[in-house]
Amino acid sequence: MPLSNMDFEFYESEDPIWNPALMTIPIPGIRKMVNLASQLDDVIHLSIGQPDLPTPQNVVNAAVEAMQRGQTGYTMDAGLPELLESLAIYYGERYNRTLNPENIMITTGATEALYLAITAVSAPGRHFIVPDPAFMLYSPLIRMNGGEVTEIPTRAENNHQIDPDEVIDAIEPHTYGIILNSPSNPTGTVYPRETLEKIVEEAAYRGIQIISDEVYDHLIYDGKTYPSVLSCCSDLDHVMVVSSFSKTYSMAGMRIGWLIGSQGAIKKLRRYHMFTTTVANTPCQWAGVEALHGSNDFIHYMLDEYTKRRDRLVELVDQTPHLTGYKPEGAFYLFPSLPEGANGTNVALRLLKETGVCTIPGETFGSSCNNSLRLSYSTSMENIEKSFERIIPWMEQQDFD
C-alpha cells in the first residue's frame, strides 16, 4: 500500500524532535495509580515508596545549622569532603573493609547514582542481567543506551529469591553488567550471602560489572546481618554499590545518595556527574554527616515499627483469597501474586475504584509478574487493618478461573 497523507500525518504526530532512545522509558505505573487515586475520596494508600516516619530531629537540625552558617554554595564535585570521609569510615566499620573518600561520590539521591552507573556501562551490543520483578529504573536505562536485557524471573512461592545459577547461566560473551537489588523493591526479598558471593565471584572472574542497589540496606528484619555486595567482594574493580539516606533516615526529599566503586570508576563517573547535575544539595549533605555520626535510635525505632507491620501484613495476605504471600525479610514491601493468568493491572484498578485501596500493579516492575501487586507497609497499622477490611471481602467475590 502506498504512503498516504494520513500516514505522513501519523508520523508527524510521533514527536519527531525527541531522541528515539527516550521511547524505552515507560509510562510510570506508580504515577498512573496515584493520579487516579487523587481523584477519589477516602483512599488508603498501600502504594507509598518512602518512609512515613518524620526525619530525625538531629538530622533536620544539622541541615538547618549548615544553612544558617552559609553552607549554600557548591561543594567539591565528588561531594562534601566531610561526608565522603564519614561514609568511608562508616562503611569501613560496617563491612570491615578499607574504603577511601576517593571510592565514593555523592549524588542527587540513589536515582542519580543508578543513572550514572548504568548509563556509563550500557552501550549498543552490550548485554545485562536484571532480576524480574525489579525497581523500574534498571531495564529502561540499559535499553536507553542501546544495551539489551535478560530478565531472571523470581516467584512469590519461593520468597522471590533469585537462583544464582540461573543468573550465571544467563551470562553471554557480551554481558557487561548484572543488576542486583537486595532488599528488593518491590519484593522485600534479601539475598543470602551465598547467592551474592556466587554471582559476584563469577562476575569478577568474567570481568562483568555488578551494579548493586542497596538503598534498603538498613531495613533488615529479624535481627539478621545484612549481606552487602561490599562484604562479598575482594576488590571493587567489578563492583558499584549505590545507596542513600532516603529510606534509612526518612530523608527522601533531601535527595542525598552515593555511589561506591573503584577509585578509577569514581574518577570517571565524577566527570559524568558534573554534566548531569554538577553536585548534590549542600545543606542536606551536612544533614547526612550528622545522620552517620548521631544516634541510631531512629533506625531501631523504625525497624521495630516496620517489623510489626510486616508481620501483620503477612497474616492479612495469608487470610486473603486468591493472594499468595510470603515473609519478606527487608524493605517495606510485599509482592503477593494472584492466580496465574490474572491481570494484576485490572485488579489494581478495580480494587482502587471499588474499594479505595491503592496498590501498584506488578507489571510496573517487570514482564514476568503481571499477576502480582506491590503492597507497601510504609503506612500506619490502622491503615493496614482498614485496607484489608476492604480487600478481603472484595477478593472473596472475585473469580479468577
- Per CB under 8 A, the segment of 59-67, 89-97, 223-231, 349-357 that binds a copy of itself is 59-67
Cβ distance 332 to 376 under 8 Å? yes
Interactions with a copy of itself, residue window 300-359 (CB under 8 A) = none
Residue whose entry in the numeric block shows the C-alpha cell 485488579: 347
Q: 381-396 burial by CB neighbour count: b if 16+ within 10 A, else e?
A: eebbebbbebbbebbe
Stretch of 197-205, 270-278, 302-310, 348-356 lying at the interface with a copy of itself (CB under 8 A): 270-278
Nearest-angstrom CA–CA distance, 245 and 50: 11
C-beta closer to a copy of itself: residue 4 or 19: 19
Nearest by Cα to 207 from 178, 176, 231: 176
Please report how close the Cβ of residue 318 comes to a copy of itself at its closest, in angstroms. 31
Half-sphere exposure of 180 (CA within 13 A, CB side): 35
Answer for which of 40, 54, 293, 315 binds a copy of itself (CB under 8 A) is: 54
- For β-strands 44-45 and 357-358, DSSP reports them as parallel
Other Cβ atoms closer than 10 A to 218: 20
**Which residues inside 276-305 make contact with a copy of itself, applying CB under 8 A?**
276-284
Q: Does the footprint of a copy of itself cover residue 176 (CB under 8 A)?
A: yes
Report the site for a copy of itself in 242-261 (rule: CB under 8 A): 250-255
CA atoms within 13 A on the CB side of 302: 25
The count of other CB atoms within 10 Å of the CB of residue 288 is 29
Segment interacting with a copy of itself, rule: CB under 8 A, options 18-26, 151-159, 180-188, 387-395: 18-26
Q: Please return the burial class of 299, using the count of CB atoms within 10 Å of its CB with bins 0-12, 13-18 and 19+.
A: middle
The residues, any chain, with a CB within 8 Å of residue 388's CB and separated by 6 or more, are 316, 319, 320
Cβ within 8 Å of residue 375, ≥6 positions away: 46, 313, 317, 333, 334, 335, 336, 359
Of 15 and 401, which has the nearer Cβ to a copy of itself? 15
107/337 with CB nearer a copy of itself: 107
Exactly one of 8, 10, 25, 350 binds a copy of itself (CB under 8 A); which one? 25
Residue 357: CB minimum distance to a copy of itself, A: 21
Nearest CB to a copy of itself, comparing residues 141 and 395: 141
Q: Is 205 in the site for a copy of itself (CB under 8 A)?
A: no
Q: Which residues from 111-170 bind a copy of itself, rule CB under 8 A?
A: 111-112, 115, 119-123, 137, 140-141, 144-145
The interface region with a copy of itself, picked from 49-57, 184-192, 331-339, 359-367 by CB under 8 A, is 49-57
Q: What phi and psi, each to the nearest 5 degrees, are found at residue 244? A: -165, 175
Q: Which is nearer to a copy of itself, 205 or 275 (CB)?
A: 275
Kindly list the residues in this chain that would bind a copy of itself in the complex (CB under 8 A): 15, 17-22, 25, 27-28, 31, 49-50, 54-55, 60, 63-64, 67-68, 70-75, 77, 108-109, 111-112, 115, 119-123, 137, 140-141, 144-145, 176, 207, 209, 250-255, 264, 268, 271-272, 274-284
